[in-house]
Amino acid sequence: MIRFQELLLAAALGLGALGAQAQTPSSAAAAAEYRLGAGDVVRVIVYQNPDLTLETRVSETGVISFPLLGSVRIGGLAVSAAEKLIADGLRNGNFVKAPQVTVVLLQVKGNQASVLGQVNRPGRYPIETTDMRLTDLLANAGGVATTGGDLLVLSGTRDGKPYRLEVDLPSVFGPNTDAGRASDVIIQNGDVLWVERAPIVYIYGEVQRPGPMRLERGMTVMQALASGGGLNQRGTERGIRVHRKGADGKVQVVQPGMDDSLKDGDVVYVKESLF
C-alpha cells in the first residue's frame, strides 16, 4: 500500500503548478510579492549614493530610520512600494535628483507561520510570498511524518476574528480540483498548522506480528490481520474479538466480521484455536 505521505512533496509541487497556470504572469507576480513586516532585516541601496546605503531592521511599528528622511513607515508595503516611497521622499526633498532605490530583504522575520504535530521538521517558517498556501507550508516542514494522519487543523485570525479550518489532506489532491484548491488556503502571518497523529489499532494474541499499527482509511479486520502477518498456527478466525471504547468511555467487546471496518483505538484480540 502506497503511503500518502511519501507523495506529499511531489503533489504539493504539482498543485502549485496548477495554480500558477490559472493566473496570468502579471497577476501572479503581483500576488506573490512579499510585504514587509516587523522584524524583517532589509538593505536599502540608492544608486550612485553609497553614503545612503542602509542595513536595518523594521521596527515593531513598521518603521525604519533612513538618512535625510528620518522615520519611514514601510511595514505592510510590498518591496517595490517601499522602494518607491523612499525614492519619492528623496526626490521631493531635493536630496537626490533622480533616485534609483533598491530594497533587498535579508532576513524574513515579520511574517511567519508555525507547523506543529506529526511533521518531519516542526517549527516556525517565513511567509516569503503573499500567495503561500497550506501545502507550501507543509512542504517546508518536510511533509507529514510516518506517524501523522490525514487530518490537518489550521488556526489563526482572519479579519480580526479567530479562524479555524479542518482539512482532509487527501481531498486536497483528489479528483475534484476546485474543492482541493478551496481547501489549500492561503497562509497568513501568525497561522498555526497542526498535524494530527495517525489513528492506530492494536493487535495481539495468536498473530504473527502483534502490536500497534497505523489504521489506514477504511481498513477492515481482514486487512489489519494481514498487516500483522496473519494468524499463526494456533490462531482461529472464530476467536477474533474487538475491544472498542464507546462514546461513554466504557470498553465494549464485539465479535466482528472479517469485512467490518475498524476504528481508531480498537484492540483486536485473536484467540487460540481449541483444535
Name the β-bridge partners of 114: 124, 192
Cα distance between residue 84 and residue 77, in whole Å: 10
Q: Stretch 246-254: mean pLDDT, rounded?
A: 89
Cα distance between residue 140 and residue 163, in whole Å: 22
- Spell out the residues 6+ positions from residue 108 whose beta carbon is closer than 8 angstroms to its own: 34, 40, 126, 127, 128
Q: Stretch 134-158: mean pLDDT, rounded?
A: 94
Q: Stretch 210-224: mean pLDDT, rounded?
A: 93
Backbone angles phi, psi at 36, to 5 degrees: -65, 145
Cell triple for residue 69?
A: 528622511
pLDDT digits (tens, 9 = 90+) for 92-109: 999 999 999 999 999 888
Is residue 30 pLDDT above 70, yes or no? no
Q: Stretch 38-44: mean pLDDT, rounded?
A: 93
Q: Tell me, what's the pLDDT at 89?
A: 96
Tell which wins on pLDDT, 132 or 12.
132
3-state helix, strand, coil in the chain (%, to 5): 25, 35, 40
Q: Tell me, what's the pLDDT at 119?
A: 96
Q: Stretch 216-228: mean pLDDT, rounded?
A: 92
